[in-house]
Amino acid sequence: MLRMFITLIWLLILLSVLSVISLFLGILSLGKLSNFIATWVGFVMGRAGLAVAGVKIRIKYHGEKPKEPAVYLFNHSSTLDLFIVVSLMLPRVRFIAKKELLFNPFFWVLAKTTGQIMIDRKAIRSTHEQLTKAYQHIRENRMSLAFAPEGTRSRTGKIGPFKPGAFHTAIELGYPIRPIYIDGAYDLCPGKSLITRPGTVTVHIHPPIDTSGWDKKSIREQKEQIRNRYLQWNGESGV
């Protein structure tokens, strides 16, 4: 409990400092440093948050390090996951997040200065228009996107059903899918818990999966094939 309290206070201070720095750099560069801010602010916030919580991170690349634009997928079973993913320094990566996060002034500044995609999930029509514009911007600037295909955190540590959104996005952008498997985060901080035990998390970044031959009719099949990989990595093969 003491570690959790210290971590929350530290993150609050860190968010306020990073927000001021991001705002300053954003204004000074007229928005041209959004990739720099997104990469380094995410790295500092992620690694600092993990360090205070007593969590070490080990990265294993199965294949080459990420260079080209992709749709990154990561399993989601812990509060630590976001800190882990933003600390990986994935090139030009952005997130699609719910608009409600903008009510937090720190998140508002960070989202605006780093070019995150904020959508109103309740307004289906406007969401589609927002995503269409966002996809065009992403392609033009060779950005990547990161998704938790389960949509929400698993409370059991098991891989949940995958939603189709990330797969539609990969087809829409013409991007490969690059799976990221986070091993050990649930054991240290399960589900939505804020209490974290010290330990080590291993992040496996797997080779990209070509989606050039996919269409919307094959999404369900492709989605299940990729989910089966996560089941195997998570020791749930045959489930």
Dihedral over Cα of 175, 87, 84, 133: its sign:
negative
| Predicted TM-score (pTM) of this structure | 0.90
Taking only the tens place, the pLDDT of each residue in 149-175 is: 998 899 999 999 999 999 999 999 999
pLDDT at 4: 75
Q: Strand, coil or helix: what is 80?
A: helix
Q: Strand order in 55-61's β-sheet?
A: 55-61, 199-205, 177-183, 71-74, 144-147, 93-98, 117-119
- When pLDDT is averaged across residues 3-18 and rounded to a whole number, the result is 82
Q: Is the pLDDT of residue 204 over 60?
A: yes
Q: How many helices (DSSP H) and strands (DSSP E) are in the chain? A: 8, 7
Report pLDDT for 192. 86
What pLDDT shows up at residue 215? 92
Q: Map out the domains of the chain with their CATH numbers.
A: 2-233 (3.40.1130)
Smallest CA-to-CA distance from 42 within 99, 113, 131, 105 is with 113
3-class SS of residue 127: helix
For the chain, the average pLDDT equals 90
pLDDT band at 237 (very low <50, low <70, confident <90, very high): confident
What is the per-residue pLDDT across 27-72, written as a single tens digit (0 to 9) for each? 988 888 999 999 999 999 999 989 988 999 999 999 999 999 999 9
pLDDT tens string 98-156: 777 667 788 888 888 888 888 776 666 667 777 888 889 899 999 999 999 998 899 99
Question: Whole-angstrom distance between the N-terminal and C-terminal Cα of the chain?
Answer: 35
* Reported confidence tier of residue 238, pLDDT bands at 50, 70, 90: low
- 3-state SS assignment for residue 220: helix
Q: What is the pLDDT of residue 102?
A: 67
